[in-house]
């Protein structure tokens, strides 16, 4: 069926992150994991030929599907055109404004996973069931002191409980991608530690993870312009053992403590 659709609409597939999920069992498991209630609005990013969309529409009050490829927008319109439960937003997910939604369920375009995830973190929603490249998913759920721990892990931990719930083989897609995939369950919740200023904390995390293997003291000093403060003026007030570690060895709450100290001094100068 995928091949017929692709041929009919002149879509090559494999380009622009276009790997369509065709394994019925996995499609069903993704929708099950989303636990969709009849009053909910679901956001789907990169709806493709609509295999996931169709299942989401059966359960939700409304599905809002964002799709950039005009040929795939035509497929979605032909397939579900007059069904009032579907709203199609043609365009680039990074440029369109997200509507209000309860849950986001998507097989994402992998080349912009990071940008999409950081955009999602700026919205209010109850649950995300999201397909990523496996390595990206691992970075998202990584803990301090591991190879995969990164700016992404700290952001994910700040915004949500994140866990890998399924590892997906290449053969579940048509055409098969070159990489393994994983489905991540993302449940937004209040941060489990105190942050004096959210934007400053996120900015701090981005700055120090630019040099994750340097002692954090050096990253902070090197980024003094960006962070708006020179810690050499008040270095005695910061626990030295924290400054001697590398960003990759600091827990998210320890990074928040440091960002809070810097922010307080910045406010007082
Ligand atoms: N959801 C479909 C499925 O599971 O079969 C398709 C998933 S495919 C991995 C990703 C989809 O995202 C493709 O349909 C592609 O055209 C679309 N896409 C790629 N970049 C996009 C962007 N910047 N904005 C919106 N959609 C995009």
Question: Does ligand 1 lie within 6 Å of residue 174's CB atom?
Answer: no
Helices (H), the chain: 2-8, 24-34, 51-59, 70-80, 113-120, 134-140, 151-159, 198-209, 216-222, 224-227, 240-243, 252-268
How many whole angstroms from 109 Cα to the centroid of ligand 1?
5
How many whole angstroms from 150 Cα to the centroid of ligand 1?
25
Say if residue 227 is in the same domain as residue 115. no
Token digits of residue 150:
């990164």
Helices 113-120 and 151-159 pack at an angle, to 10 degrees, of 30
So what's the pLDDT on residue 116? 98
Say if residue 26 is in the same domain as residue 115. yes
* CATH number of the domain encompassing residue 99: 3.40.50.150
- Cβ neighbours of residue 163 closer than 8 Å, sequence gap 6 or more: 141, 184, 185
* CATH number of the domain encompassing residue 220: 1.10.8.100
- Total of domains in the chain: 2
ipTM over 0.85: yes
Question: Does ligand 1 lie within 6 Å of residue 46's CB atom?
Answer: yes
Question: Does ligand 1 lie within 6 Å of residue 261's CB atom?
Answer: no
Question: Does ligand 1 lie within 6 Å of residue 48's CB atom?
Answer: yes
- Could you tell me the pTM of the whole model? 0.94
Residue 169 CB: number of other CB atoms within 10 A? Answer: 11
So what's the pLDDT on residue 7? 78
So what's the pLDDT on residue 3? 75
Is residue 13 included in any domain, yes or no? yes
* DSSP annotation of 213: T
Q: Given 133, 160, 188, which residue is the final one in a domain? A: 188
Report the binding-site residues.
19, 21, 46, 67, 92, 107
How many whole angstroms from 34 Cα to the centroid of ligand 1?
19
How many whole angstroms from 44 Cα to the centroid of ligand 1?
9
Q: Given 168, 188, 208, which residue is the final one in a domain? A: 188
Say if residue 135 is in the same domain as residue 225. no
So what's the pLDDT on residue 13? 67
Q: Which domain holds residue 176?
A: 2-188
Query: Residue 45, exposed/middle/buried by CB under 10 A (0-12, 13-18, 19+)?
Result: buried
Ligand 1 atom closest to residue 16's alpha carbon, by position in its atom list: 19
Digit-by-digit pLDDT tens for the chain (269 residues) are: 777 877 788 777 666 689 999 999 999 999 999 999 999 999 999 999 999 999 999 999 999 999 999 999 999 999 998 899 999 999 999 999 999 999 999 999 999 999 999 999 999 999 999 999 999 999 999 999 999 999 999 999 999 999 999 999 999 999 999 999 999 999 999 999 999 999 999 999 999 999 888 899 999 999 999 899 999 888 888 989 999 999 999 999 999 999 999 999 999 87
């Amino acid at each position: 069926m995928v091949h017929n659709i692709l041929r009919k609409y002149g879509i090559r597939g494999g380009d622009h992150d276009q790997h369509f999920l065709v394994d019925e069992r996995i499609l069903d498991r993704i929708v099950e994991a989303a636990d969709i209630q009849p009053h909910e609005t679901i956001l789907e990013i990169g709806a493709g030929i609509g295999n996931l969309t169709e299942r989401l529409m059966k359960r939700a009050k409304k599905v809002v599907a964002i799709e950039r490829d005009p040929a795939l927008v035509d497929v979605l319109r032909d397939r579900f055109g007059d069904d009032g439960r579907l709203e199609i937003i043609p365009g680039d997910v990074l440029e369109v404004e997200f509507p209000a939604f309860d849950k986001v369920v998507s097989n994402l375009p992998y080349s912009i996973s990071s940008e999409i995830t950081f955009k999602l973190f700026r919205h209010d929603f109850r649950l995300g069931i999201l397909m990523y490249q496996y390595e990206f998913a691992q970075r998202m759920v990584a803990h301090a002191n591991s190879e995969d721990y990164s700016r992404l892990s700290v952001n994910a931990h700040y915004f949500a409980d994140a866990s890998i719930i399924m590892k997906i083989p290449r053969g579940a897609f048509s055409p098969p991608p070159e990489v393994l995939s994983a489905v991540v369950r993302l449940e937004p919740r209040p941060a489990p530690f105190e942050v004096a200023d959210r934007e400053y904390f996120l900015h701090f995390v981005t700055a120090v993870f630019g040099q994750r293997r340097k002692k954090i003291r050096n990253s902070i000093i090197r980024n003094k312009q960006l962070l708006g403060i020179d810690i050499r003026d008040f270095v005695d007030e910061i626990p030295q053992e924290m400054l001697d570690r590398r960003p990759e060895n600091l827990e998210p709450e320890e990074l928040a403590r440091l960002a809070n100290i810097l922010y307080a001094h910045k406010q007082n100068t």
